[in-house]
Structure 1
Amino acid sequence: MALTFVGVILGIFALAKSEFSLAGKSVYFVVVDRFARSGTQALNTTYCDLAADWINNTGGGYCGGTLSGIIDRLDYIEGMGFDCIWITPVVDSNGFMGYDAVNIFEIEPHFGSKEDFKRLSQKLHERSMCLILDIVLNHMRPLVVNGEVNLSTIVPFNHESHYNQRNRSNNQSFEEYLISWPPPPFNPSEDNQRLQTLKMTGELDCGHHVADHTECACFPGNIGFSCPSLIAEDFTTGYLGVLGDLNHSNPFVRRTLLTWVREMVQNYSLDALRLDTAIYLDRDFLPEVQEVAGVQVLGEATVNNLTFQASLMHGEAQSGLLGLLNFPPFYQLPRAFCGYRMGGDFGDYSLQGTWYEEADMEGLGSVLSLQLSSSMHLGNSNLDMMGNFADNHDEFSRLTYYCRYDSLRIRQALVWVFLSRGIPILYYGTEQGLDGHQGPENSKGQDNLRESMWHTGYRTDTWQYRFIQRLNKLRKDFGVGVGDAKIRQTSKTTLVFSRETTKAGTIWVFLNNAKNATEKEGQIYCPGPGSGHGLRGRWFDALSGKPMNRYFKAGCFQAPDRNPKVLFRGRHVP
């Protein structure tokens, strides 16, 4: 689809937005329904973790969070030092998360009104903060509700031609096709068994040291010899089962969605977008979305293939999105700091949600090294547009739980999120120690990760709130934003990297995965800042404020304890 006409329409608007960039910003991620109630309901602090109905597909699960509630708590968010908030979809939807739209042209009544949404945008901009809206272009609500098919209530996509119908037989009615459920686009069990055999025989390698397959499992994105049944065209035409998978080859669907994106950005003065399920959209649709938006788009790309990840990004030789959520290192992070199994090797999820005997940093370090060092993957500027995170609303467990409430390990992980190259993203409630997680004892699936906030009282004196506040202040004081990063050393127990900053020169970050009980023990990191070229100037730890030169020995940094360290050269700590 040619975008010449669209480009002319955007003209001045795109130019006005072009100076803003998410690169260098820090982001607080809010589930609208679970963050803050408003009005008289704000007095009701009863804990709520209702689940949506995914058996009969009736949705629901609303706990009472609103857009006005977010406005009332902006002091709380800004107090941690965040530049932006990212909110879940606000369109009229089937369920409380908003990812199953019923009418894309209306605001979900449970959340408020169009005026409330505009007011949120305005209040953020008055604080020089930015607003990121989550949008869904891949699908609508489930097409089968309570065992019946009814498209008439879906706006504007109310005709069967608006939806993909992969593998529908000639003698099937649309209703029969939907109720029988189309088969999945690939067979992960068969592919994973084959992958395991190839790995064992040495015919194929996978794991954190392999750029095209950083996890030994067949995900969308691992296409070709290693996972042969996964064909790109198949998972863009009906991967998510019962959800109404939109057909982007339909001119009405494509045109309507692009117009809607443009108008949402304009009508609500949005600063950026987060694009849900980006890998399930037609590849040639992504650059059209990016262009028509006129603002940066962060795509959700749940892949473990660095080459495939890079292929989704805009670059000199290709069109694509300007940003992505950075899943390859995220998949390594829970094991690195806390020894937690977020997934399952070769598709075996029987141990998912349990812990290894020991944590291991090598996987995270390897993936980061591959991502940072190879021009085959992400271009230099694109690295600044990768969203880094330790947990989210989908992935099995919150940080507090998977680190077993160990404050030392949680702090190590948070330092990585806030100081590694990219855009740091914090999932709401981390600062209050929310510990939602999936597991055999929890029957609500992903909704276990989406608990309410109001019962916490929005305390600003928790250690987590103050630590995050400190990290955001450090970012601003040192000018930690865009700029180079280098992995200096990785071992099973340690990770050392450096960042180039605009105000403090090169800073060195020293992390480990020791437990709370060993916090006061020393930790040796090699190399240290002075190795190879001599040590000059006075070095301080930005987190403790203490001088560190006395701990530099024989090219190593022999830290006096196991707390995370952020070392810089200067006269004092800002």
Structure 2
Amino acid sequence: MPHHYDRVNINKLLTRTRITMVTTPDWVKKAVFYQIFPDRFAIGQQQAIAVAQQPKLEPWEAPPTVQGYKGGNLWGVIEHLDYLQDSGITALYLTPIFQSACNHRYHTHDYYQVDPLLGGNEALQALLTQAHRREMKVVLDGVFNHASRGFYFFNDILENGPHSPWLDWFHIEDWPLSAYDGSLPANYRGWVDLRALPQFNHDHPDVREYLMRVGEYWIAQGIDGWRLDVPDCVKAEGFWQEFRCRVKAINPEAYIVGEIWCDASPWLAGDQFDGVMNYRFTEPTVAFAIGDRLQKEHLRGEEYRPYPALTAEAYGERISQLLQQHPWEIQLTQLNLLNSHDTARLLTLANGDRPSVNLALLLMFTFPGAPCVYYGDEVGLPGEADPDCRRVFPAKTDWDLDCWEFYRQLIALRHRYQCLQLGDYKIIATAGMGYVFQRQYGDETLMVAVNSGDNIIEIILSPDIINLDKIDIAEPVFSANGETVIDRNTAGLLLTMAPQSGAAFAII
């Protein structure tokens, strides 16, 4: 059952957290995540609860719209678990699933009820059972900064005005409230001034306790962690430290990962999150692998800037800075991604240039932290910015099977080598668009070489970089797009790399 603490006990836990070593869930370091937008993934054959059996839905194959529902549900996720397991996926991250009046469900009505369109609580429990039987983890999206106009406590304020007992749960500024008429002042605070998303007053002890108990409840029900939506907007002192303590008291191996687009250092000292959605890795990786092929018209907002194009040396500098920012235990549990439900898909950003996408994937799957695949990317699903990046998962007849095989091989590589899960990351050479690094864990070492340029390049690894007397380099254990040849000569190891190619070599 969930643990509840008085303020004295919480302060003791927070103090203990600050003085202990940084610890993060071991399973995350070895995981390959798959992000699912439930409304667009699959419609299961088993019916949802009766009230939602005959909803009016958009045609499945029609382009997605901002407000339309497609009808994907958790039963559909369950029916695809064998496919995901066969692909090598070991963990699922689901965007919000709780009752809501929008297809993405970031407008929460009820934090204790899975949306009926998704199958209700019954479907979630079935998903947890079936996933755990396959030793797959399930992480849910926690929207704890704001609720919705339909959230019971806020709806009571709309109905009863200043007589509502829940006034202090939100930031009410004046009367009357205008929840829907944009020509009038809202008179309450919404997230980024959106009336649909009334922001919680996290300094109110009842609000704080309510949200803590939601976090505890679903961990106790068997979920394996929380992805936290816009957690940097929660300003209440000690909120996320307390959240960590209470969640970890129930399951010490629960994963807590935040959506932070900027420098996440304030949240990654070991007392709040185990990692973040690592857009600080995404940006330079896309800028190096895609470069000037990037279609900027598909980008939205200033928080995500995967440009200008980077040389190998500039990419190495950005990666070195990133790896120095956080404790190594945190680095190993960052959630690494190349796109998400909030960005255009990488294939579209690259203007369909599959070789450059392949190089970005190689860099992600060989980087410290857990790689995350956005549903459909593995079968070649394109998509411009929201809502187009939230297309339905395609029928198998529309899959890019070469793309799927490439993903499967990369995922298998990740699982095969412990050095990719736990090993050090060392940049050993940069030249023009050529980038070479190694991952080492104990006696196991992989060297990865990437040429994101349009020309053949040669890179010399001199004896002061690699001890030629103690190594033997076998055939590549993985290659992308073209051939990389290694020859020994008096100067060292000569790498000859085809244009837009990459390879991983086992160093014995």
TM-score normalized with structure 1 length = 0.72
Is the 8 Å Cα contact of residues 360 and 493 (structure 1) preserved in structure 2? yes
Instruction: Tell me which residue corresponds to 1:79.
Output: 86
Offset at residue 70 of structure 1 (A): 0.6
Conserved in 1, the CA contact under 8 Å of 2:298 and 2:349?
Answer: no
CA distance in 2: counterparts of 1:27 and 1:544, whole angstroms: 22
RMSD, aligned α-carbons: 3.8
Partner SS, residue 321 of structure 1: coil
Q: Secondary structure at the match of 2:147?
A: strand
Q: What residue in structure 1 maps to residue 230 of structure 2?
A: 277
User: CA offsets, 1:42-65, max 9 Å, x none?
Assistant: 9x9941443234xxxxxxx21011
Matched residue, 2:20: none
Q: Is the 8 A contact 1:359 1:492 kept in 2?
A: no
Cα distance in 2, alignment partners of residues 22 and 368 from structure 1:
21
Specify the alignment match of 1:194 in structure 2.
none
Identical-pair percentage: 21
1:567 to 491, 502, 505: 505
The answer to whether structure 1 residue 550 and structure 2 residue 501 are counterparts is: no
1:28 paired to 2:34: yes
Give, in whole Å, the separation in 1 of the partners of 2:126 and 2:398. 22
CA drift at 1:31: 0.6
The residue aligned with 2:436 is 496
Which stretches in structure 1 are left out of the alignment for 5+ residues?
Answer: 9-16, 54-60, 186-236, 439-445
- Residues 66-96 of structure 1: per-residue CA shift (max 9 Å, x gap): 1010110111111211111111111001211
SS in 2 for 1:21: helix
Contact persistence 1:483–1:500 (CA under 8 A) = yes
Aligned residue among 252, 258, 269 for 1:314 = 269
- Opposite residue 146 of structure 2, the aligned amino acid is H
Deviation of 1:320 (Å): 1.6
1:314 partner amino acid: A
Shift of 1:386: 1.1
Is the 1:81–1:473 Cα contact (8 Å) retained in structure 2?
A: yes
User: 1:533, CA displacement in angstroms?
Assistant: 2.8
User: Among residues 374, 385, 393, which one is paired with 2:341 in the alignment?
Assistant: 393
Which residue does 1:91 correspond to in 2?
98
- Distance in 2 (CA, whole Å) between partners of 1:258 and 1:509 is 43
Q: Secondary structure at the match of 1:488?
A: strand
Q: Which runs of 5 or more residues in structure 2 are unaligned?
A: 1-5, 14-22, 49-57, 249-253
The superposition leaves residues 76-126 of structure 1 with CA deviations (integer Å, 9 ceiling, x where unpaired) of: 111211111111111001211111111112111111021110111111111
Report the TM-score, using the length of structure 2 for normalisation. Answer: 0.80
* 1:100 match: 107
* 8 Å CA contact 1:46, 1:454 repeated in 2: no
Secondary structure at 2:351's aligned position in 1? coil
Alignment of structure 1 residues 155-554 onto 2, 5 Å? 159-165=166-172, 168=173, 172-175=175-178, 180=184, 238-239=191-192, 241-242=194-195, 243-267=197-221, 269-282=222-235, 284-294=238-248, 295-303=254-262, 305=263, 309-315=264-270, 319-339=271-291, 340=294, 360-372=311-323, 374=324, 377-395=325-343, 397-438=344-385, 446-457=386-397, 459=399, 462-479=401-418, 480-490=420-430, 493-501=433-441, 505-514=444-453, 522-527=456-461, 531-535=465-469, 536-544=471-479, 549-550=486-487, 554=491
Deviations 1:420-474 (A, max 9, x none): 1111011111112111113xxxxxxx21110001434585x71121111111111
Matched, 1:129 2:136: yes
Give the AA of the match of 1:312.
W
Q: Secondary structure at the match of 2:96?
A: coil
Kept in 2: contact 1:433–1:464 (CA 8 A)? yes
SS at match of 1:65: coil
After TM superposition, give the deviation of residue 332 of structure 1 in Å: 2.5
Give, in whole Å, the separation in 2 of the partners of 1:238 and 1:437: 25
After superposition, the Cα gap between the structure-2 partners of 1:18 and 1:547, relative to the gap in structure 1 and judged at 3 Å, is closer
Q: 1:528 to 1:137 in 2, by over 3 A?
A: farther
Taking the aligned partners of 1:473 and 1:370, their CA distance within structure 2 comes to 29
CA 1:77 to 1:176, structure 2 compared with 1: closer, same or farther past 3 Å? Answer: closer
SS state of the match for residue 245, structure 1? coil
TM superposition shift of 1:143: 7.4
CA apart distance, 1:366: 2.1
Give the whole-Å Cα distance in 1 for the aligned partners of 2:159 and 2:475.
64
Q: Secondary structure at the match of 1:22?
A: helix
Residues 40, 3 of structure 1: CA spacing in aligned structure 2 closer, same or farther, 3 A cutoff? same
Residues 120-146 of structure 1 show CA distances to partners (whole Å, capped at 9, x for unaligned) of 1111111111111111101112579xx
Counterpart Cα distance in 2 of 1:398 and 1:482? 28
> C-alpha distance in 1, partners of 2:156/2:488?
69
Asked if structure 1 preserves the Cα contact closer than 8 Å seen for 2:288 and 2:315, the reply is yes
After TM superposition, give the deviation of residue 560 of structure 1 in Å: 4.6
Assess if the C-alpha contact under 8 Å between 1:528 and 1:555 holds in 2. yes
User: 1:484 touches 1:500 (CA, 8 Å); kept in 2?
Assistant: yes
Q: Post-superposition shift, 1:365?
A: 2.6
